[in-house]
């Protein structure tokens, strides 16, 4: 009844007085004084978007606020002045201040935390797995690039900040770095209108980790869409990817897929393929740049189309000789060197559009697996016939590059692991995720393990932006027991304890020992003697040695 039609978003209390501060959905901050009798309110208005959080300073003379503008505002309540620290990366989630008032901590909707000192300098930033947090993306998929693997950095690659790719180390559970793809500042939203930010829609990394391809898309529905295809080369000296080629409007419509051809030999030139809703797929190659000496750039070598249908998902065979491209409910096979249509694979009773297709690996490299959301079909490339079909609700399929295993995530939250030559699953995991899985990848392991996935580990990403993986229950129990043992055997944190081993291993048989001399001062364990009363070794060493010596027999001479 005191705020009218505006909705309160946050509230905080003064550290010493009966004063309250509230933030509403219109970006206003109301400071309420004399709240026990007749409230008096003061209005402070800078934010355009709803206020996310507010906090008083330690002494109560300042007020900090943050919202969707990704800026920290410091209000002087006595002088009616404000100072702003802009461009903090992402909209605010929470604010807090240290007990001495020297630091302000901010948490953001991209799963990051920043510590700011009194001089408005960010002194520390803690970044976890960056989550999708911003409006202005005309796509239902919060992870349009899917999950990629960088073999050089041993990291997962996926969407990060708007217009960025994040490289995430899964072994150390930390973010390595963000790669700015778009080169544009983040634009905060307006109160009435949605502001579109350019984001990375598709990306691919070659199997050597030397090349990265990205596709950006921006379309407000009123002007012409803007599309950028960029090729990045890994710079060993800088330890990051550097832009090599920027292709403006590579397709007339949105890019649906980017992938690199597998390179069997290291001297093979890299080849990339893009598919689009403009009913074409294009093959890109690395050529010598005639405009610049000693430099190579990417150019379109050839293109293909089929019945004027949009080109969807695509994949290469294991040796890179065949290219499979989806056109509506048909899977087409093409040669790569000079694109020519070899065959068309289509089920006569299935009219649903094929969503994904993957080639099998190793012993199953002659099989092509497709799914349309309602069924999984395996095609034999040798006989050009359907090998088997299974009717089930499917969300995602992914093939393991280190084995002949394929994973299928189904609509009932069940994971099936199978080989393409047999529809019977080898392993089944129920309730693998509470939300639908939108991306998955097999990550190669440095050494084989004892689990059913010996050479790789399966990671998947759900709609709640949780990164999940499969682990063996036996390994978890063993790891848990080891942790308990370590905690149980830890010695007190004293200098003497640092010299003591937590466990001793010996092959010597235990025998009964009797001391030569009964010395009562050493009956108690040394660890129970407090450090301040422990004598210096130089003072007690001679006495100890003398007590252990056997007296020599008296001579009659």
Q: Edge-to-edge strand order for the sheet containing 406-410?
A: 394-399, 406-410, 415-418, 427-429
Residue 197 placed within a domain: no
Tokens in use for 454? 């010996």
Neighbouring residues of 32: CB distance < 8 A, sequence distance ≥ 6 = 2, 19, 20, 21, 22, 39, 40, 41
Q: Please state, for a pLDDT cut of 90, what percent of the chain lies above it.
A: 57
| Mean pLDDT, residues 322-333 taken together | 95
Say whether 50 sits in a helix, a strand or coil: coil
pLDDT of residue 490: 37
For the ranges 335-339, 393-397, 409-413, 517-521, the lowest mean pLDDT is seen at: 517-521
- Tens digit of each residue's pLDDT (9 = 90 or more) over 111-140: 899 999 989 999 999 888 888 755 444 456
The closest alpha carbon to 214, from 263, 165, 271, belongs to 165
- Tens digit of each residue's pLDDT (9 = 90 or more) over 412-428: 999 999 999 999 999 99
- Tens digit of each residue's pLDDT (9 = 90 or more) over 493-535: 444 344 444 444 444 444 444 443 344 444 444 434 444 445 5
Q: Give how far Cα 239 sits from Cα of 177, 210, 236, Å.
A: 10, 11, 5
Q: How far apart are CA 173 and CA 260, in angstroms?
A: 28
Write the DSSP symbol of residue 482. H
The closest alpha carbon to 213, from 199, 232, 228, 191, belongs to 232
pLDDT of residue 62: 94
Tokens in use for 521? 């001062």
pLDDT of residue 30: 92
Q: What are phi and psi of 227, to 5 degrees?
A: -130, 135
Say whether pLDDT at 264 is over 70: yes
pLDDT of residue 351: 81
The tokens 């998902």 sit on which residue? 313
Residue 94 placed within a domain: yes
* Domain end position, chosen among 128, 159, 176: 128
- Tens digit of each residue's pLDDT (9 = 90 or more) over 14-72: 999 989 999 999 999 999 988 888 888 899 999 999 999 999 999 999 999 999 999 99
pLDDT of residue 139: 53
Q: How far apart are CA 185 and CA 253, in angstroms?
A: 24
Label residue 4 by pLDDT band (50, 70, 90): low
With left for phi above 0 and alpha for psi between -120 and 50, is residue 247 left, alpha or beta?
A: beta
| Mean pLDDT, residues 395-419 taken together | 93
Say whether pLDDT at 479 is over 50: no
Side-chain half-sphere CA neighbours of 337 within 13 A: 2
Write the DSSP symbol of residue 476. H
* Domain end position, chosen among 96, 128, 160: 128
CB 152 within 8 A of CB 169: no
Tokens in use for 156? 């997962």
Say whether pLDDT at 163 is over 60: yes
pLDDT of residue 535: 53
Write the DSSP symbol of residue 279. S
Coarse DSSP helix, strand, coil percentages of the chain, rounded to the nearest 5 percent: 10, 40, 50
| Mean pLDDT, residues 87-99 taken together | 92
pLDDT of residue 473: 60
pLDDT of residue 133: 55
Side-chain half-sphere CA neighbours of 555 within 13 A: 2
| Mean pLDDT, residues 306-320 taken together | 94
Label residue 451 by pLDDT band (50, 70, 90): low
Which residues in 34-181 belong to E strands, given as ranges? Answer: 40-45, 51-56, 62-67, 72-76, 81-85, 92-97, 103-108, 112-117, 122-127, 148-150, 155-159, 164-169, 174-180
Q: What are phi and psi of 457, to 5 degrees?
A: -130, 135
Residue 185 placed within a domain: no
CB 156 within 8 A of CB 459: yes
pLDDT of residue 538: 56
Label residue 291 by pLDDT band (50, 70, 90): confident
pLDDT of residue 136: 46
Q: Give how far Cα 327 sits from Cα of 41, 97, 338, 355, 367, Å.
A: 63, 56, 19, 10, 19
Q: Give how far Cα 227 sits from Cα of 47, 180, 305, Å.
A: 33, 16, 20
Q: What is the mean pLDDT of the chain?
A: 83
Neighbouring residues of 474: CB distance < 8 A, sequence distance ≥ 6 = 450
CATH assignment at residue 469: 2.130.10.10
* Domain end position, chosen among 77, 107, 128: 128
The closest alpha carbon to 460, from 428, 436, 444, belongs to 436
CA torsion angle 447 453 459 463 (round to 10): -170
Residues in the chain: 557
pLDDT of residue 539: 56
| Mean pLDDT, residues 271-285 taken together | 96
Neighbour tally for 249: CB within 10 Å? 11
With left for phi above 0 and alpha for psi between -120 and 50, is residue 25 left, alpha or beta?
A: alpha
- Tens digit of each residue's pLDDT (9 = 90 or more) over 371-393: 999 999 999 999 999 999 999 99
Residue 550 placed within a domain: no
Tokens in use for 430? 């129920």
Which residues in 133-290 belong to E strands, given as ranges? Answer: 148-150, 155-159, 164-169, 174-180, 199-205, 211-218, 226-235, 240-248, 255-260, 271-276, 281-288
Label residue 491 by pLDDT band (50, 70, 90): very low
Residue 114 placed within a domain: yes
Q: Give how far Cα 373 sits from Cα of 72, 353, 354, 388, 391, Å.
A: 45, 9, 8, 16, 9
Total domains in the fold of the chain: 2
Residue 288 placed within a domain: no
Q: Please state, for a pLDDT cut of 70, what percent of the chain lies above it.
A: 83
Say whether 537 sits in a helix, a strand or coil: helix
For the ranges 156-170, 419-433, 536-550, the lowest mean pLDDT is seen at: 536-550
Q: What's the domain range around 397?
A: 358-476+523-533
Residue 158 placed within a domain: no
Say whether pLDDT at 541 is over 60: yes
| Mean pLDDT, residues 154-164 taken together | 91
Question: Bridge-partner residues for 178, per DSSP?
Answer: 166
Label residue 80 by pLDDT band (50, 70, 90): confident
Say whether pLDDT at 142 is over 60: yes
Q: How far apart are CA 180 and CA 159, in angstroms?
A: 11
Q: Which residue would you say has higher pLDDT here, 35 or 358?
A: 358
Tokens in use for 249? 């409007």
Q: What is the SS3 string spanning 365-380? A: CCEEEEECCCEEEEEE
Residue 276 placed within a domain: no
């Amino acid at each position: 009844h005191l705020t009218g039609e505006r909705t309160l978003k946050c509230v905080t209390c003064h550290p010493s007085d009966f004063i309250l501060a509230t933030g509403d959905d219109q970006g206003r901050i109301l400071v309420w004084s004399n709240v026990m009798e007749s409230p008096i309110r003061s209005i402070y208005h800078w934010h355009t978007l709803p206020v996310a959080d507010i906090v008083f300073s330690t002494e109560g003379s300042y007020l900090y606020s943050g919202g969707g503008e990704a800026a920290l505002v410091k209000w002087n309540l006595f002088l009616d002045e404000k100072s702003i620290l802009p461009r903090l990366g992402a909209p605010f989630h929470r604010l807090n201040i240290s007990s001495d008032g020297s630091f302000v901590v901010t948490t953001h909707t991209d799963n990051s935390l920043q510590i700011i000192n009194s001089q408005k300098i960010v002194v520390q930033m803690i970044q976890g797995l960056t989550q999708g947090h911003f409006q202005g993306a005309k796509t239902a998929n919060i992870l349009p690039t899917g999950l990629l693997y960088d073999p050089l950095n041993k990291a997962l690659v996926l969407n990060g900040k708007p217009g960025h790719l994040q490289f995430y180390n899964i072994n150390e559970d930390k973010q390595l770095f963000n790669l700015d793809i778009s080169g544009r500042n983040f634009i905060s939203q307006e109160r009435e209108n949605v502001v579109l930010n350019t984001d990375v829609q598709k990306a691919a990394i070659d199997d050597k980790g030397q090349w990265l391809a990205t596709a950006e898309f921006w379309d407000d529905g009123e002007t012409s869409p803007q599309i950028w295809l960029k090729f990045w080369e890994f710079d060993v000296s800088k330890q990051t990817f550097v832009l090599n080629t920027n292709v403006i409007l590579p397709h007339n419509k949105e890019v649906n897929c980017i992938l690199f051809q597998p390179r069997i030999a290291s001297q093979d030139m890299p080849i990339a393929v893009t598919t689009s809703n403009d009913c074409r797929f294009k093959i890109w190659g690395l050529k010598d740049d005639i405009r610049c000496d000693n430099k190579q750039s990417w150019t379109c070598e050839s293109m293909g189309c089929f019945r004027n249908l949009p080109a969807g998902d695509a994949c290469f065979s294991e040796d890179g000789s065949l290219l499979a491209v989806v056109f509506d409910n048909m899977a087409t096979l093409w040669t790569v060197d000079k694109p020519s249509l070899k065959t068309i694979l289509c089920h006569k009773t299935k009219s649903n559009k094929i969503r994904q297709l993957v080639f099998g690996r190793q012993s199953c490299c002659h099989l092509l697996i497709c799914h349309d959301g309602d069924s999984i079909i395996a095609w034999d490339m040798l006989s050009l016939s359907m090998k088997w079909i299974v009717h089930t609700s499917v969300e995602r399929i992914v093939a393991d590059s280190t084995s002949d295993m394929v994973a299928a995530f189904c609509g009932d939250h069940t994971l099936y692991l199978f080989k393409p030559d047999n529809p019977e699953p080898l392993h089944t995991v129920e309730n693998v995720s509470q939300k639908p899985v939108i991306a998955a990848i097999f990550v190669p392991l440095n050494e084989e393990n004892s689990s059913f996935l010996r050479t790789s580990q399966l990671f998947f990403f759900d709609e709640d932006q949780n990164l999940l993986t499969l682990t063996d229950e036996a390994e978890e129990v063993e790891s848990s027991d080891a942790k308990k043992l370590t905690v149980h055997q830890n010695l007190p944190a004293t200098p003497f304890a640092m010299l003591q081993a937590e466990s001793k291993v010996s092959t010597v048989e235990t025998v009964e020992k009797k001391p030569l001399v009964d010395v009562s001062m050493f009956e108690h364990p040394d660890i129970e003697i407090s450090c301040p009363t422990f004598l210096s070794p130089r003072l007690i060493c001679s006495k100890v040695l003398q007590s252990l010596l056997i007296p020599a027999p008296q001579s009659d001479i």
